[in-house]
Amino acid sequence: MNQYVTGAVIKELREKNKMTQAQLAEKLGVTDKTVSKWETGKGYPDITLLEPIADVFRVSVTELISGNPIHNANVSANMLRSKFYVCPICGNVIHSMGEGVIGCHGLQLSPLSAEPSDENHMVFIERSDDEYYVRIDHEMSKEHYISFIAAAGADEIQMIKLYPEGKSEARFKIRGVKKVFFYCNHDGLFYVDIVKGIDDKDSSYDNTLERRELEQIADKLFG
């Protein structure tokens, strides 16, 4: 770890748990003056106290050190709320069903924020029997490429890892798919919703503006 628990984190967690310095001190077997020193940056907890402090606040030691408490109530049950992390050094792709403290190559990674697909990342979706064929209209050079495509439903996610100089396409079982995610190594994470009245037909749409218009019509008809 390249950092240690800070007084600001301890104070934030203490106040969030509606606990006084004296109450926290009693639980940890230290004095309230000691807790005050931690919170004002005049001292740090001994390393042997990290686990007891984490237990008091009902967080993990990793969360305590990172300063990012995780709240996953009813999140991990829905794959549509999946989090994706990509290491900028090695390109490692990490999927989480909820929030997490994720690290790779010594870096703490932040979850990617997905944006709707745009004219520079046009999506081609076609239904074939029980599969969706998905193609991203994008170059696949060593410098600029689509790293992965994922199809998510409420209780399942399918992910295909892609590589430079390969094809930016994938096939997914239709079973419950509601959203398609894909990651561009230059521009980040994008998504497109699977829309009734569009993607359940044996047809395809390369034009992003045309698809947006069709999505609006489908929403009125089937929403």
> Which pLDDT tens digit goes with each residue over 44-91?
888 888 889 989 988 877 778 777 655 555 444 578 888 899 998 888
Residue 179: give the domain boundaries.
115-222
Q: What is the CATH number of the domain that holds 48?
A: 1.10.260.40
> Do both 144 and 178 map to the same domain?
yes
Per-residue pLDDT tens for 16-47? 899 999 999 999 999 999 999 898 888 888 88
85-98 pLDDT per residue, tens: 999 888 899 998 87
Residues 132, 166 share a domain: yes
Rounded to two decimals, what is the model's pTM?
0.62
**Domain shared by 104 and 160, yes or no:** no
Closest CA to 196 of 160, 223, 171, 169: 223
126 and 91 in a common domain: no
Q: Are residue 100 and residue 121 in the same domain, yes or no?
A: no
Q: What's the CA gap between 159 and 162, in Å, rounded?
A: 10
Q: What angle do CA 54, 57, 62 make, to 5 degrees?
A: 35
Dihedral of alpha carbons 131, 136, 140, 144, sign: negative
